[in-house]
Amino acid sequence: CPVPSALRMPNGTRICAQLYADDSPYYNECCAGPVLVVDPNSDVPYMPHGWAARISSLVVGTRCELTVWSRAGKKGSSRRFGS
């Protein structure tokens, strides 16, 4: 997985988090497959089509916090992730 401080777009723009679809019991094989990029200050109450219940790995950038909910529309229990 990339280190939190390395989360940047090719043009240098900072990324708040990267969510990955594939996972592995081996750390060096985590953070694989399709990637969903979360920009700073994003507020997305619904996952994009095809991403619900699919994320298995994530990396949160420095100075960012990612809050996720167990149900769509910011309902259910929540959990916060930081770098």
Residue 11 lies in a domain: no
Q: Nearest 5°: phi and psi at 51?
A: -105, -15
Residue 6 lies in a domain: no
Which of the four pLDDT bands, split at 50, 70 and 90, describes residue 7? very high
Residue 16 backbone zone (phi > 0: left; psi -120 to 50: alpha; other: beta): alpha
Residue 7 lies in a domain: no
Residue 8 lies in a domain: no
Domain range for residue 64?
17-82
For residues 50 and 35, the answer to whether their CB atoms sit within 8 Å is no
**Into how many domains does the chain fold?**
1
Q: From CA 83, how far away is CA 4, in angstroms rounded? A: 6
Residue 49 lies in a domain: yes
User: What are the residues facing 38 on neighbouring strands?
Assistant: 17
Residue 58 lies in a domain: yes
Please state the pTM of the whole predicted model. 0.83
Residue 66 lies in a domain: yes
Q: What is the pLDDT of residues 18-67, one digit of tens each?
A: 999 987 777 777 888 899 999 999 998 888 888 888 888 899 999 999 99
Report the residue count for the chain: 83
